[in-house]
Amino acid sequence: MGIVSEEAIDEFQELMDQVEEPLKETYERVHQGFLRENLGRFLKARDWNVCKAHTMLVECLRWRVDNEIDSILSKPIVPTELYRDVRDSQLIGMSGYTKEGLPVFAIGVGLSTFDKASVHYYVQSHIQINEYRDRVLLPSISKKNGRPITTCVKVLDMTGLKLSALSQIKLVTIISTIDDLNYPEKTNTYYVVNAPYIFSACWKVVKPLLQERTRKKVHVLSGCGKDELLKIMDFTSLPHFCRSGSSGSSHHTQSANCFSIDHPFHQQLYNYVKHHYETRGQAEPAKQGSFHVGFPEPEAERCVIAKTIESELHKFENRNGLAMSIDDRKASHETLADDDL
C-alpha cells in the first residue's frame, strides 16, 4: 500500500473516530478490529476518494441500524423444511480455503432457481452468510493465521445457465446491490467455470461496462477449472462441481455438495443462528416469517449492467426462437414429403 493510500486511510480514520451511537456499535461489528483493512475496502470502492468513502460507510452503518442487521444471526429461517427449500434453490456454500487461507465460496449461478420462497427469505439468507463470514469465519481464520484475512474468493458455476435467468435478474440485482454498497471489496477473485455459450455472449458485452479493478478480478476458466484452481487450493477445497469433468450438484453426494443443507458449512451456520436465537432468551420457538430488509437503490453502473444482460438474453432468446422456427418448418416439410411417399 502506497504513501498516498496510507494517508487516505489516516484521514478516513479521523472522520470515523467521530462516529457516535448507534452507528458506533454496528461499526465495530463491521470492522471486527481490522480498522485499516476495513477502511481500505471502502476507499477502494470509491477510488480512494476519502469524502465519498466516508459517505458510503456512514450510509452502510445507517442501513445496518435501520434494518437491525446486527441481530440477523439470531433470526433463523424456519421451519427447517423452508430453510432446506432455500438452500436447494439458492445454491451457495463454502468448500474450503485457498493456500493463502482465504475462504472459497462456491455459487451455482446456472442452477439457482430462487422459486421456493419469497424474495425476502433469499435476501435474509444471503445477508446471514455475509455476516457469518465477516463476524465468525474471517476473524477466526485471521487469528489462526496470525494476520488479517478479510476477503474471500468465489467460484461461479455456470452449469445450466439458460434463458430462464431473465426472471432472476431483479433478485440478483437486489443482492448484488446490497453487496456493492454494504460489503464492498470482500471478494478477492471471481473464477467462472463450466461456462456455456450464453454466458460467453453476455460476458462479451458486459465486460467493457465493468470498472477495471472489477474486470481484473474475473477469471473465466476452461471447463470445470480444476487444473487452474488446484494452483491456488488443495483438492479437498475444490467445489464439488470442479472435481471432475462432470459438473452440477446432481453428480455428487450430499456430504461433498457444498450447496447442500447437510454440508458442514451450512450445518455450522444453521446451528450458530439457532443457538444465538435461543441464547437471546426467547421462550417460544421461532415463528415462520422472513426478516425484511430495505433494498437499496442500485447504482447507475449496476442498472446498466442488468439492462445489458437482459437485452442480450432477449436477443439470444429471439435468435434461438428463430432457429427453432426454421427447424420446425424443415421438420414439417420433411413430414409432408414422407406423406407424399
Whether residue 196 is predicted with pLDDT greater than 60 in this model: the reply is: yes
pLDDT at site 298 = 80
Whether residue 253 is predicted with pLDDT greater than 60 in this model: the reply is: no
Whether residue 211 is predicted with pLDDT greater than 60 in this model: the reply is: yes
pLDDT at site 163 = 75
104 backbone dihedrals φ, ψ, rounded to 5°: -105, 110
Q: In b/e form, how buried is each residue of 278-307, taking b as 16+ CB within 10 angstroms?
A: eeeeeeeebeeebbebeebebeeebeebbe
C-alpha cell at 6: 496510507
In sign, the C-alpha dihedral spanning 316, 247, 233, 84 is positive
To the nearest whole percent, how much of the chain has pLDDT over 90?
67
Whether residue 149 is predicted with pLDDT greater than 50 in this model: the reply is: yes
pLDDT at site 299 = 79
Q: Domains in the chain, start-ordered, CATH in brackets? A: 6-67 (no CATH), 75-241+258-280 (3.40.525.10)
C-alpha cell at 94: 463454502
Report helix, strand or coil for 105: strand
Q: How confident is the model at residue 325 (pLDDT cuts 50, 70, 90)?
A: very low
* Cβ(98)–Cβ(153) below 8 Å: yes
Question: Span 4-13, mean pLDDT?
Answer: 92
Rounded distance between C-alpha atoms, residue 31 and residue 201, angstroms: 39
Report helix, strand or coil for 102: coil
pLDDT tens, residue by residue, 268-280:
999 999 999 988 7
pLDDT tens, residue by residue, 53-76:
999 999 999 999 999 999 999 999
Q: How confident is the model at residue 327 (pLDDT cuts 50, 70, 90)?
A: very low
pTM here is 0.87
C-alpha cell at 336: 409432408
